[in-house]
Structures are given as structure tokens and as C-alpha cells.
Structure 1
Amino acid sequence: MMQRLAQWHLQPSLAEARRVRERLTEVLERENAPFISAFQLACAELIVNLSRYPDPPPTKVELLLSRDEQHWWLELKDNGPSFNNFSQLINDPDPLAAAESGMGLKLLAQMFADIRYIPACFREDAQNVMVLRQPLSDQQPTRKTLLVVDDDPSYRAIVTAYLSDRYQVVEAQSVSEAFAQVLTYQPELVICDVQMPDEDGPVLFDKLSHIPDAAHTAFIYLSGSQDSETLSRALSRPIDDFLAKPVTREQLVQTIERVLQRRNYLNQQIRRELEERVTLGLQPSLPEQIPGYRVALRSFNPEPGGGDLVQLQQVGEQSMILMADLMGHGLSAKGYSYALAGYLRGLGAAAFNEQLDLEALFGLLSQSFQSDAVLQETLATLIAVQLDASGQLQWVNAGQPFPLHISQAGVVPIEVEGALPGLGVGNYTSLTMQLKRGERLLIYSDGFLDAGLPVTEALRQAVLASSALPLAAAADQLLALGLSGPASADDTTLILIEKT
């Protein structure tokens, strides 16, 4: 059962972010909660985002801290317009200052076990909700969550008693309440009565089937209805099973286990096939030679998802390499990467063929991230370099780590900066430099070194030492170096370029 620990009503502003963060810290310390710094950052970042991005700004904002048998919960509700764009620069160690400077959901996603945004259009109270969830303990095994939907409180209590020793059970007495609980808790399975006073079980099934995050939820009817028309309508849906009341505990548990095992098997089969197909289309690759340069690309994905994209455009003696890093993990992030790859490929080819400079290209990309319905749901960092065979380079950056220039004089970051696409910034500034014969460039994603971290002296020396090796061997050594670092849980892609 959810226990409400604290609740604050506020107006979104920097001052309110400070005030509520202090009160939140007091409650967390009193409750001996772990992960206090993560909750501090989340509080500051989310409130500051609400003060900056929605237009018009919300007039009603509420922050709630709760705990149930398995998790700590932080929920931010607001009545403003739903919004999609969050910045993700990581520059300041202080949570509030970092939020003010643009630290965003990318860092929060690494800190929390579960983070999601529920737009107001899916909620009866017409409020947007940001939900962050963290396990009570790293040692405590997480139980599967089930939702029991029945208008009879006595029967809900019976079913909950049957199941609560094996699962986390959430209850709802109506379709509208159940719909909200599914969006919040994301249960693995719903056990639903067919016939209820306001809306019937099939209505809940239909509602969930239109929500991507909920459409995969297993669904069992548990009903005592004898109405043939109602039952026929209910069974016309592709549910997982049907049980008639009354049901024994053994029968209910066996049915649940069978349904969950079957769902898990089918999901694994589908995911495996999709991963294989999509991975082939996303695998970063570059030729070993482009006009005037040798190239070595190395990449590593610690899980099936993620999205480091690398694309090459060539016309005559000029080449353009574009690398994008998509925020997210799992197959859904890979799906967005696949869609984004196609968009970037088409736009990049058109811009390059029309001799559009990189500043104009990134301006178009930023506008597209604001206006396109799919790209609005995508958080990405990008960097592009245009290479002339003579050694002249032009750079534009949008949130990626600084590349490294490797020469006999040492290892120097190429400090080219730019805002993430979609944040309302249309103007990008390029940087031009000359690469001499034998000098190298290292372009890398934040799986190698995070954009907010400085290049340490130890890293400089390791990169410099690699320059004595042939290009391919140096790339192998640098990938191994990146995988041994603190950012190795993220996708890692690096491109090593040498002037010939």
C-alpha cells in the first residue's frame, strides 16, 4: 500500500525549487532514505524545467514523496501544457545549479530505476505527471506487480489476500481508477472484473491497447457475470485468460504464473527478432579510407538498446561524418534511433548535395526537433565534421563531448559548443581547423567520456601513447580504455581519423 510521506504545493520558480528541495531533504533524512542526492537533483531539475519550458506556465504544481512495499516514489503534477523537450547538459556538481544550467533527464535516467512522463491527455484530472521510482533497497528482490480491478471491495480483498505474499498487488474499483493505476505502476498483469457499474472490463482493455507503454500488459478476466451478451463482448478481445468466480487461490496463482510465463516467452521471441533486424540497420560503420584520411571506428553496446548513430556523406574530395547519441536504453530507444537515422540520412544527404554549411544544417535539425511529432519525443546529442582532402576541417556540435586533437605537441580538446537540438536555439557556430599529415582526431560518444567531465592528465597520456600505434590498433586500445572507465555502462562509439 502506498504511504504518502510529504506533499508540497508550489509555483514553478528557482526560489521554489530551492525551498521544496530543502523540505524534501529534511523528510528523506528523517526517513533514512538512500539516494538522497538523486531525489534532490530530480526535485530541482523538474521544478526548474516547469518554470522555463511550458507556455503558458502551469498555475498548479504539486510534488509528492511516497513509499510502498518495494519503492520510493517522487511524483510531480502540473496543470500546464504537456511538453517534450528536456535539456541534458551535465556541467555543475551542485544539483540546483546544475538544473539551472540545463542538466536534464539523461542524468536522472541513469540515477533512477524507473522514470516516465504521463501527459495530461491520459489522465482524468487533466494534469501532467512525472514519475520517478527507486527500490527501497538494492538487496530486496523486486516482486511483479499485479492490478486487481473489481467494484466489490470484499472480493478485491480476497484476491489481494490470495496474491500479496507472492506479488505486489495494487487495487482499483473502477475502469477510470484502474487506467490511472496502470499508467503509474505499469503492472505486468491486470485481473479485471467483466461487469462493473460505470464501465465494463472490456473498456479498460480497449483503453490500454491504445497506450504504447501499456498495450503489452497481460490481461485476465475474473468474473461472476452470467450475462451472455456481456461475456461475448468481453471475450471478443484478445485477453490472456478467463476465470469464473469463485476461484481458489491455487487456481488463480497457477493461471497467473502460466500467463506471465507465456507472455515472457512471446515477448522474448518478438524482441529477439526485432533486435536482430534493427541492430543490423544501426550498426555504426565507416570505410577505412576517405579522401585524404584513414579512419578506424569502434563501438560497443552493453545492452540491446541505445542509439549511437554514425553517418558518412561524400561528394568529390569532401566528406561529412555525423555522429548522434540518442538518450535511452532498451528496444524502444533503438526504435527511435532507427527512425532518427533515416531522417538524418535524408536531411544530411540533401544538405550536403546542396552545399549547405554545417551551421545551417544544424539549424534545420534544431527546428525539426521542435516541430516534428516524432522528433519531439527524441532526446539526442549530435556532432558533425566536414573534412576536405587538404586537411581543412569544419565542426559543429550540439551537446556531444569535445573531440580530441592528437599531435606531437600533445592531446588538446577541440572546444566547439552548441545547444541540444529542439531547445529553441536556431543558431550554431562552427569551428574551423587544419589537420596536418600524421595528426589524428578522436571523436567519441559519452560512453567513452561524459560531456560534463574534463580530460584528465592520465587520459591525455593514454591517448597520446596510443598515437604511436597503427590506427586500427590505437582504436582497439582506446575502446578498451573507454570500457574500463566509469561511463562504460553506456553505449560507446569512437572514431579515430588520421590525415594521410
Structure 2
Amino acid sequence: MKTQLFAKQYPLKLDSISEVRRLLTTLCQQLALEQAEIDRVTLVLAEYLSNLYFHNQGTVNWFSIELAGVKSNWYFEVSDTGESFDPYKANVNDIFNGELLTSGMGLALIQKNNHNGHYESENGINKFTCPLKKQKKKLNVVIVDDDQTLLWAYKGYLQNDFVVHIFSAAVLALKYIQHEGCDLIIADIHMPEMSGFEFRLKVESFEKGALTPFVFLTGDDNLSVQEQAAEVSIDDYLIKPITKTPLLAVCNRVIRRTNQLALHYQQRIVESLSRPFKPSLPPKSGDWNFSLAHTPASEGGGDFVFFHDYGESKLLILGDIMGHGPVAKFHSFAIMGYLEGLITSIPTCPGVLLAGLSSRLYLNQLLESSMLTCIVIKLTGNKCEIATAGHPQPYLLNDVGYKAIDCKGTVLGLLPDEGYSAVTVQLKAGEKLFFYSDGIFENIDRNCDCIGNILDGIKGTTAQYVLDQLWLRFESLLPGQLQDDATAIVIDLNNK
């Protein structure tokens, strides 16, 4: 099931390429990509667009760019109507000898930096794809010991699993920790300029220093040293000589325990924040029936539901802050506050509401390090108007099966004056509408055919019965704890 977060067509001009490069950077930052990956993506797409511009002048007037993904496997795709030219089939072996045209260097950069990319040309449309790499960030470990030989040995033990920073001077280590921070500190107790105990106390005075896991190294195995070490609240200690296996085991155990404690307290915070704002809907309003199921992620997530009854019409909003934990939950509350301010006593068109919310978010920059997808549904009589901003497409369910409702829009807050259009569905007797957050498909088995496994064969006379079947299917496909909030909504008309 493809989710589109951004799509826009541009005139093929240098100004457009510059604007797209800026937008690419913003989108990558909102997806929490590392800077190296952001640099790679912007380089590849800028080179492709530059090549398109300089070698198709007068024959190509536009290009479009899309950010989409399936199960969080995000990719950028550029489409154009220029002359077909596959950058992966170009021979760039001799570019450093100056034997190729000026485009050769750009093509070489594309080949080198986008190994998993794809180019195809069909029916006069060329498509160039740049997949985004999922990166598992290594944790930073600081090791302090006045023995240079041991320092390099410890670094060799850990460097395959961690980013290791070694210091023979405690003062330099303190400066690094204070300005850069780290995920684990390993320090010798007996050092010439200050003892490990003094070093630990100084670290505790830094912001987050007291919460950073800390391990002592010592050649002393007497009880008094061990008791003194316990008094300065460390997580573990190792007695020299130290080999790779115990050092690596202690590092992993200490970090795992710290993460468990952090997750425990984070869950308590999220639970206390979520209790008053748990997504909910009335079971019935006017001619419409509503059924909702919601399960929060283990670390907390950013799903929210907003409902407003105008009398003749109803407004239903399902949103998702991409991210987890208290920050995502806080952002979802802030967005609900924005919605309260935007919605007045006059029914609001879904497209106009999304445009207003997007403009306000762009000016406020509340979500500069995150991303918000949203779907707005306005119900009047048997008519349903739907507008979406980067949110998964809804489905129409009936006795025959199901079909996607084609409505798309850019994620909110990305552009200053972005417009949104709504599609209208006339609901017939027995038909139902299925709306959901991407957590429905983020959490289930990566090897299954998502939408088919969820919706195939689902039938029922009521919205609640259909939702119950959907949710049982969803839960049966879960591999373990939820990594993202999951929310599902089924609505239908009263059968009179």
C-alpha cells in the first residue's frame, strides 16, 4: 500500500531545481534521516535534474517530484517527458580522463551514490527513483585511560559495534562530553591529572551527565575501591586486564538497562498525557454511525482524532505526527489546539481547512523536525467530502469487495501557500468507509500483502462489526509490540 507524502509539478527552470533541493532537505530532516543520507539524496536528485535541464532545453517544459513509500520504505521519484536516457547505462569509466561530455561527472555521481536507484521509460514518461536508506545509528562511546596502548585495544574491541572516542587526558574528555554528549562513558579510576571518581562527579554536573551510563575500569580488586565506586552511582566496573568479550558484554548490558529504564519512565509520561486525549468518536451522530479502534505504540505515538458536529454536517479529522514518544504526543495535542482555533460555528470545507492548517504550521515552524499527515472528512446527508495531506488513502467497502479512494495532498506545513482539493463520495446503502493511520501497515508482518490481508473477505451489516473483523485481522498479523500508533475508523449511514 503506497503512501504519498509529497507530490508537485514544476516548470523545468534553474529556480525550480533550487527550490526542489531546499524542499528535499526539509523533507529528509522531517523523516529524521542522518545528514550524510540527506547530502546523498540532495546530490543525486540535483545532479539528475541539472542533467535534465541542460540536455533537454526546449524539449522538456516540466518535471514532477514525489515522496512516497510502502511500509516506510520511502523513495523520491522524478518524472519528466524528455528524451529517454538511462543514467545507469551510460559509460562513465573514462570521465576522469576528460573524454566524456560535461554531463559525465554528474552521471558518475548518480551511479556511485544511488546504487539501488531505478530508471524506466514508458508511454513517453521517464521515471527516476532514489530510495532512501534506513540507517541504524551507532551509539557513541567515550573511553578515558592514561594508557595509550590500552586505549587503542579497547577501541579495537568496540569499533564494529559503536562509534568510539578515546582520550588519554581526562580534561579533554570532559570538554568533548560537555559539548557533544555521548551514550556511554568508560573511565579508568587511576589517572594522573584527576581520579576516575573526580571525573565522574564532573560528568554528573553536565546536562544529562548524571543519566549517561558510566563504567569504571580498575586494576584494583580490593573491596574499598569497589565500595567507593558504588558511592558515585556508576552502572558497572571491570577489573583489568580486560578482554573483548566481557567489555562488549558490559557495554551492551549497561546500555540496554538504561534504555529499559528510560522507556519505562517515557511510557508513564505518555500514558499520563494520553489519558485525557485518547482518540474517540461518538457511536452515532445524525445519520452517521462511527466505529473507532486505537492502540498506542509501546513508546507512544502521535495519532489524534478530532470530531465536530455542526448539525446538518459533521467534520471528522484523523491525523498522525510521524514519530514516537512524548514529543510526538505533545505535537498531537498542539495540533488539536490549532484545529479548535480553525474550526468555527460555520462548517469548513476540508480543502480550505487543510490549507489553513498548513499555512499556520509553515509560519509557526512547530513541526520543523517532524512531519504531520492528516485526512479531513466532511459528512453532509449521504455525501462525504475527503481531503488528505500525505495521509494513506481511504477505502470504500461494499458487498463486492473494496477499492481505494483516490485523494492525495502534500504533507502539512511544507509549503507557504499549498492548496488542497477534496473528492466527494456518495455513500450508498450497505457501503462503508475505512480510514486509518499508517501504523496499521507499519506494524504488521513485512512479508504479507498488507491491504489484502486486512480487507479481503471483510463483510458486515454494521460499521462496528466490520471494524471488529478488521481489528482482529490486524492483531493476528502483529509480530510483537507496536512501533507506531495504530488507529482505524469505519463509518456508514443508518439503514432506515
Superposition TM-score tier, normalisation by shorter sequence: 0.5 to 0.7
Partner of 1:317: 312
Partner of 1:25: none
Q: Is the 8 A contact 1:306 1:337 kept in 2?
A: yes
Give the RMSD, CA atoms, in angstroms.
Answer: 5.2
Q: Is the 8 A contact 2:339 2:357 kept in 1?
A: no
Question: How far did residue 481 of structure 1 move?
Answer: 2.7
Pairwise mapping of residues 401-420 of structure 1 onto structure 2 (< 5 A)? 401-408=392-399, 410-420=401-411
Q: Unpaired runs of 5+ in structure 1?
A: 1-13, 15-40, 54-85, 116-132, 134-143, 225-237, 451-455
Partner of 2:413: 422
Q: Is the 8 A contact 1:87 1:420 kept in 2?
A: no
**Amino acid in structure 2 at the alignment position of 1:49:** T
Greater C-alpha Rg: 2
Secondary structure (helix, strand or coil) at the match of 1:400 reads coil
Pairwise mapping of residues 34-433 of structure 1 onto structure 2 (< 5 A)? 46-49=39-42, 88-90=67-69, 95-96=116-117, 108=133, 111-112=134-135, 114-115=136-137, 146-150=141-145, 153-154=148-149, 156=151, 170-173=164-167, 174-175=172-173, 178-179=176-177, 186-191=182-187, 205=203, 209=207, 216-219=211-214, 240-241=233-234, 248=240, 263=258, 266-267=261-262, 269-281=264-276, 283-301=278-296, 303-328=298-323, 333-353=324-344, 355=346, 356-388=348-380, 390-408=381-399, 410-424=401-415, 426-433=418-425
Question: How far did residue 426 of structure 1 move?
Answer: 1.4
The change in CA–CA distance for 1:371 and 1:223 in structure 2 (over 3 A counts) is farther
The change in CA–CA distance for 1:243 and 1:470 in structure 2 (over 3 A counts) is closer
Deviations 1:367-393 (A, max 9, x none): 3443434411112221111112x1222
Aligned pair count reads 365
Mapped to 1, the partners of 2:201 and 2:278 lie a distance apart of 42
Residue 481 of structure 1, aligned match among 458, 467, 473: 473
The change in CA–CA distance for 1:165 and 1:311 in structure 2 (over 3 A counts) is closer
TM-score normalised by length of structure 1: 0.57
Question: How far did residue 341 of structure 1 move?
Answer: 2.0
**1 or 2 for the larger relative contact order (CA 8 Å, sep ≥6)?**
2
Mapped to 1, the partners of 2:236 and 2:454 lie a distance apart of 64
Q: Unpaired runs of 5+ in structure 2?
A: 1-16, 18-33, 47-64, 78-115, 120-126, 220-230, 443-447
Q: Is the 8 A contact 1:87 1:104 kept in 2?
A: no
The change in CA–CA distance for 1:493 and 1:458 in structure 2 (over 3 A counts) is closer
Question: How far did residue 401 of structure 1 move?
Answer: 1.5
Q: Which moved more, 1:312-321 or 1:277-286?
A: 277-286
**Amino acid in structure 2 at the alignment position of 1:414:** I
TM-score normalised by length of structure 2: 0.57
| Identical amino acids, percent of aligned pairs | 20
Mapped to 1, the partners of 2:454 and 2:261 lie a distance apart of 46
Secondary structure (helix, strand or coil) at the match of 1:415 reads coil
Secondary structure (helix, strand or coil) at the match of 1:417 reads coil
Question: How far did residue 415 of structure 1 move?
Answer: 0.6
**Amino acid in structure 2 at the alignment position of 1:495:** I
Mapped to 2, the partners of 1:353 and 1:418 lie a distance apart of 23
Mapped to 1, the partners of 2:374 and 2:241 lie a distance apart of 54
Question: How far did residue 284 of structure 1 move?
Answer: 2.4
Secondary structure (helix, strand or coil) at the match of 1:325 reads strand
Secondary structure (helix, strand or coil) at the match of 2:392 reads coil
The change in CA–CA distance for 1:337 and 1:258 in structure 2 (over 3 A counts) is closer
Deviations 1:463-492 (A, max 9, x none): 474333432221111123334559986543
Mapped to 1, the partners of 2:43 and 2:425 lie a distance apart of 40
Q: Is the 8 A contact 1:281 1:338 kept in 2?
A: no
